[in-house]
Amino acid sequence: MPALLAARRAGLTTAIVPVEVLAEASLVDGIDLHGAQTLAEVLAWLRGEPVALHPPPQPADPPLPAAPDLADVVGQPEARWALEVAAAGAHHLLLTGPPGTGKTMLAERLPGLLPPLTRQDSLAVTAVHSVAGVLSSDYPLVASPPFVNVHHTTSMAALIGGGSGMAKPGAASRAHKGVLFLDEACEFGQKTIDTLRTALEEGEVRIPRRDGIARYPARFQLILATNPCPCAPPKETDCICTSTVRRRYQSRLSGPLLDRVDLRVRMRATTAMANADAAPPEPTAVVRARVLKARTRAATRWFAHGHTWLANALVPGPALRREFALPRQTTALLDRALALGALTGRGADRCLRVAWTLADLAEADRPTADHVAAALHFRERRAP
């Protein structure tokens, strides 16, 4: 597929591909496509000889995946709210809590809250998956935001991409326009996980090769999940780690990486009795409706000012501080945190982006001081 997309950009109108990839190739519009089983068939067709090349199949809509529902997640109201905010603004998220608190369940439900992929994005994601060799032969088009779960034993090459010969996309690129989930994030090698910093800032990965640099898109939402300590007991009262051990464990996530994570939530174990009197959890459909409304509100606002940002997380820092600067009384807490050195400039920009998302969810025209305070509080929620 990437070759066909490049051919279309170059103005070519006809292409012959192996019949085995004809279904995948037919996803590219604007090209007269034929499938061949052998090179002899191609040569015969080029000479004008009568040969029956294979026509592309009729496109079939892929079945909708059975996405897990938020209604399955009982309790954890703060974490559920953070997930909604993350979806509404395309923000990165850190979930910290003992085993069994629902960190993975929440992460798996983020794709169901996201807007559907546009045709252009769907083709871009499908092209990456094609190069990676992970496309389904029955339904090659990737129509929904992908969810890529990465284990802490994953190598740097598997995370970012690489390999002998042609560099293949790694997990970061396969999560393009979707969600990259790193479970047990503190168990990753620091050098491995820090390679994501470029992707988080620039939306692509660059893989050095002998003859140049391979580039793949990697504009994903990152969810990090981690236990608060290495012993990780289900009950925090059973923890045998000292405060020094806990701090050392959490410091495996470097400051520069955490500075790029907008939302941080501390999850605690709950009991069935504690949740018995709680209201039934909202299903994905209800939360998704609010998310899409907030996304539309944000995109409409930025477009009205001549910008094409589709989510608040994509708004550049200079625009937040100049063209869309908030009154001093609104950002007083943020300014104080900056003055005290408790927040970096990058962190302040990310707080402002979250504040805009909170305002969009509240259907407010612009963030208030309460929205800024809530955004700042999200960055302070870490395990003790």
**Whether 152 contacts 188, CB under 8 Å:** yes
Q: What is the pLDDT of residues 122-139, one digit of tens each?
A: 999 999 998 888 887 667
Categorise residue 76: left if φ over 0, alpha if ψ from -120 to 50, beta otherwise. Answer: left
| pLDDT band, residue 384 (cuts 50/70/90) | very low
Task: Enter the DSSP assignment of 54.
Answer: B
| Residue type (1 letter), 380 | E
Segment holding 204, helix H or strand E: strand 204-209
pLDDT at 274 over 80: no
**Whether 246 contacts 233, CB under 8 Å:** no
For the chain, what are the domain ranges?
A: 2-46, 70-276, 285-380
Q: Over the chain, what is the mean pLDDT?
A: 89
| pLDDT for position 211 | 78
pTM across the whole model: 0.87
| pLDDT band, residue 233 (cuts 50/70/90) | confident
| pLDDT for position 383 | 42
| pLDDT band, residue 275 (cuts 50/70/90) | low
CA dist 181 and 175 (Å) reads 9
Domain 70-276: which CATH number of 3.40.47.10, 3.40.50.740, 1.10.645.10, 3.40.50.300:
3.40.50.300
Task: Extract the tokens encoding 340.
Answer: 């005290």
